[in-house]
């Protein structure tokens, strides 16, 4: 048994993709339609910077096929603050803008914290208590992308697991890698694509990440990754996987996502 696997990129409007991903002459209004037939998930990043119209969420849902998933990065006003426990109003505003219009096509919410934000167990616990389990009757999942090394500790892993929030696995040269399984799903962001590789990564690295993805979806804690707690804790139950090739050499990310989809069938 295994969970469902959703692989994609960040956003869908990017000028260089019109040279090496989108067909020549494709009108911009059809880029989401095209992308959603070649990758199986998209992380919406624009929500970090501003609010989207409810009708936009509805249109996005109508554009992509059944089985496709969007994830959404939470507003910076929720996470870039000294006291996280005071984010309740910002969280409610972010979630109320229309995300629920995606219905079953809505995947997890990505809560990204600044590299300068250190782990404060009490404040972080109070923040997690503000995250609802649903919005307008649509179930919500929550993924935590932390970037300060102080989060690489058992106390943070335990806190995330108690709240059923996923710790984002970040393959990044500067941020901590925390592979502990803490939620019914896994959220991974691969951020080391290289311009000189046509598919973003060498073939052997794509094989590696495909193998890791299979392990995650089967409920395993893959070998060779960095864990802050006990690696075997929370394993054994199949998990849905959301894996994004993002940042790095961004012009190569669609090719890398497609290569991984091809390897995973």
> Over the stretch 213-249, which tens digit does the pLDDT of each residue have?
999 999 999 999 999 998 888 888 999 999 999 999 9
Structure token pair of residue 5: 């696997």
**68 touches 107 (CB < 8 A):** no
* Domain range for 246: 5-264
Could you read off the pLDDT of 23-76 as tens digits, one per residue? 999 999 999 999 999 999 999 999 999 999 999 999 999 999 999 999 999 999
Express as a percent the part of the chain with pLDDT over 70: 100
In CATH, what number is assigned to the domain containing residue 207?
A: 3.20.20.410
pLDDT surpassing 90 at residue 2 = no
The per-residue b/e assignment along 2-34, b for 16 or more CB within 10 angstroms, e otherwise, is: bbebbbbbbbbebeebeeebbeeeeeeeebbeb
Dihedral-angle region of residue 59 (phi above 0 means left; psi in -120 to 50 means alpha; beta otherwise): alpha
> Residue 241 — φ and ψ, nearest 5°?
-125, 135
Whole-angstrom distance, CA of residue 23 vs CA of residue 20: 8
The angle, 0 to 180 degrees and rounded to 10, between the axes of the packed helices 253-264 and 203-218 is 60
**CA-based nearest residue to 93, from 133, 127, 129, 52:** 52
Report the domain count for the chain.
1
How much is the average pLDDT of 153-179?
97
pLDDT surpassing 90 at residue 187 = yes
Indicate yes or no: pTM above 0.95. yes
């Amino acid at each position: 048994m295994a969970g469902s696997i959703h692989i994609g990129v960040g956003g869908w409007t990017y000028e260089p993709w019109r040279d090496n991903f989108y067909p020549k002459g494709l009108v911009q209004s059809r880029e989401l339609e095209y992308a959603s037939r070649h990758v199986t998930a998209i992380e919406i990043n624009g929500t970090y910077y501003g609010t989207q119209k409810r009708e936009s969420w509805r249109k996005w849902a109508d554009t992509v096929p059944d089985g496709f998933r969007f994830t959404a990065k939470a507003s910076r006003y929720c996470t870039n603050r000294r006291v996280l426990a005071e984010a309740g109003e910002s969280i409610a505003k972010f979630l109320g803008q229309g995300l629920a219009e995606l219905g079953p096509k809505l995947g997890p919410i990505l809560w990204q914290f600044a590299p300068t934000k250190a782990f404060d167990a009490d404040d972080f616990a109070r923040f997690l208590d503000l995250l609802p389990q649903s919005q307008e009757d649509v179930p919500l999942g929550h993924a935590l992308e932390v970037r300060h090394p102080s989060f690489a500790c058992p106390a943070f892993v335990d806190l995330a697991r108690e709240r059923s929030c996923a710790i984002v696995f970040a393959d990044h040269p500067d941020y901590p890698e925390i592979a502990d399984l803490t939620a019914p799903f896994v959220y991974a962001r691969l951020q080391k694509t290289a311009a000189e590789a046509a598919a973003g990564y060498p073939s052997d690295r794509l094989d590696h990440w495909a193998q890791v993805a299979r392990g995650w979806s089967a409920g395993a804690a893959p070998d060779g990754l960095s864990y802050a707690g006990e690696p075997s804790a929370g394993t054994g139950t199949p998990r849905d996987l959301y894996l994004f090739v993002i940042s790095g050499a961004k012009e190569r990310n669609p090719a890398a996502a497609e290569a991984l989809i091809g390897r995973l069938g």
